[in-house]
Amino acid sequence: MLYPELYKSLEAVRWNMGQDVPWADFDGSALSEEQARTIKMNAITEWSALPATEMFLRDNIHDSDFSAFMSVWFFEEQKHSLVLIEYLRRFRPDLAPSEAELHAVRFRFDPAPPLETLMLHFCGEIRLNHWYRCASLWHTEPVIRRIYELISRDEARHAGAYLQYMKRAIAQLGDEARAAFAKIGMLMASSSRSGKALHPTNLHVSKDLFPHDTVQSKLPDPDWLERWLDDQIRFDREWEGRVVTMILKNLSILFDRNFESVQELNRYRKELIRTPAGDRQAA
Ligand SMILES: [Fe+2]
Ligand SMILES: [Fe+2]
């Protein structure tokens, strides 16, 4: 089981909302109206770990190790939402999300293949780590800058934990897992082609509710994410390139192959589909 060690390692580096956030350093003159509004949207988006956890537990009913790890992941994601809400409650109480606004992102996701969901969230954590690092640089108020730094590091650690479950899946399932990871890796690293912010909260997850079936569509401002990335924090090609590089680097290690580009990953994905595992090993 991976859960006991993951619990220990995440426990060892856990930050404390009372002690590790320098609340006393707040500088109201350094927080603009538009910056404050983005914090509200991030707080509600983080709350969507709740329906995501419900989905993970349902779709991984066969996997108690991973389900146990969800307790840590869910706790930390809800804490991200809470620390952002706490910031607003202290300094911009008019913008603190209401319980109804938080509850609006809780809806039932359609069942999905667990391996693909795992990879989707692995890539999502990598992406969010970069988004928050970028947001931390855009913000000018020191307390919120520190908060984004703290939560961005948690997102990187979440990616690391998911990666361990991906390694385990490859050891257990071989090419079935590789094919699922390569397929989703392609999708999540192809942001320049899709022109869309590729993150689990921005994907369609319920056929019955389409098109209002993304977490982002449930926000008070459903168009916020693209604006945040393009006009506010300015998550440009260079930042996007770093996300893609991280995804390819991790998949290179995971598959023991070197992927310099998304095209190379795509070629490998096609190989996996075409060649049965036995033949490829013999080749
Ligand atoms: Fe988070
Ligand atoms: Fe996370």
The CATH code of the domain that includes 95 is 1.10.620.20
Within a domain: 145 = yes
9-18, 86-95, 122-131, 207-216, range with the lowest pLDDT: 207-216
For position 206, what pLDDT does the model report?
81
Ligand 2 centroid from CA 260, angstroms: 26
**Residue 283's pLDDT band (cuts 50, 70, 90):** very low
Within a domain: 103 = yes
For position 211, what pLDDT does the model report?
86
- Looking at the predicted structure, is the pLDDT value of residue 105 above 90? yes
User: 105 near 78, Cβ under 8 Å?
Assistant: no
Ligand 1 centroid from CA 42, angstroms: 9
- Looking at the predicted structure, is the pLDDT value of residue 282 above 70? no
Ligand 2 centroid from CA 267, angstroms: 30
Within a domain: 281 = no
User: 139 near 35, Cβ under 8 Å?
Assistant: yes
Within a domain: 25 = yes
- Looking at the predicted structure, is the pLDDT value of residue 45 above 50? yes
User: 198 near 188, Cβ under 8 Å?
Assistant: yes
Of 89, 126, 261, 254, nearest to 179 by C-alpha is 254
Ligand 1 centroid from CA 260, angstroms: 28
Within a domain: 75 = yes
Within a domain: 131 = yes
Note the ligand closest to the C-alpha atom of 156.
Answer: 2
For position 111, what pLDDT does the model report?
92
176-212 pLDDT, tens per residue?
Answer: 999 999 999 998 888 766 667 678 888 788 888 888 8
Provide the residue range defining the domain that includes 264. Answer: 3-276
End-to-end Cα spacing for the chain: 33
Of 118, 119, 126, nearest to 244 by C-alpha is 126
Query: What's the chain's average pLDDT?
Result: 93
Which residues, by Cβ under 5 Å, contact ligand 2, an ion? Answer: 125, 155, 158
| Residues 80, 198: Cα–Cα separation, whole Å | 20
For position 203, what pLDDT does the model report?
79
Ligand 1 centroid from CA 46, angstroms: 5
| Residues 70, 49: Cα–Cα separation, whole Å | 10
| Residues 10, 271: Cα–Cα separation, whole Å | 37
Within a domain: 88 = yes
Within a domain: 144 = yes
Ligand 1 centroid from CA 129, angstroms: 9
Ligand 1 centroid from CA 155, angstroms: 6
Total domain count, the chain = 1
Note the ligand closest to the C-alpha atom of 48.
Answer: 1
The alpha helices in the chain, defined as continuous H runs, are 3-12, 33-47, 49-59, 64-91, 99-103, 114-138, 142-173, 175-189, 191-194, 224-227, 237-255, 262-274, 277-282
Q: How many other CB atoms are there within 10 angstroms of residue 196's CB atom?
A: 12
Ligand 2 centroid from CA 273, angstroms: 31
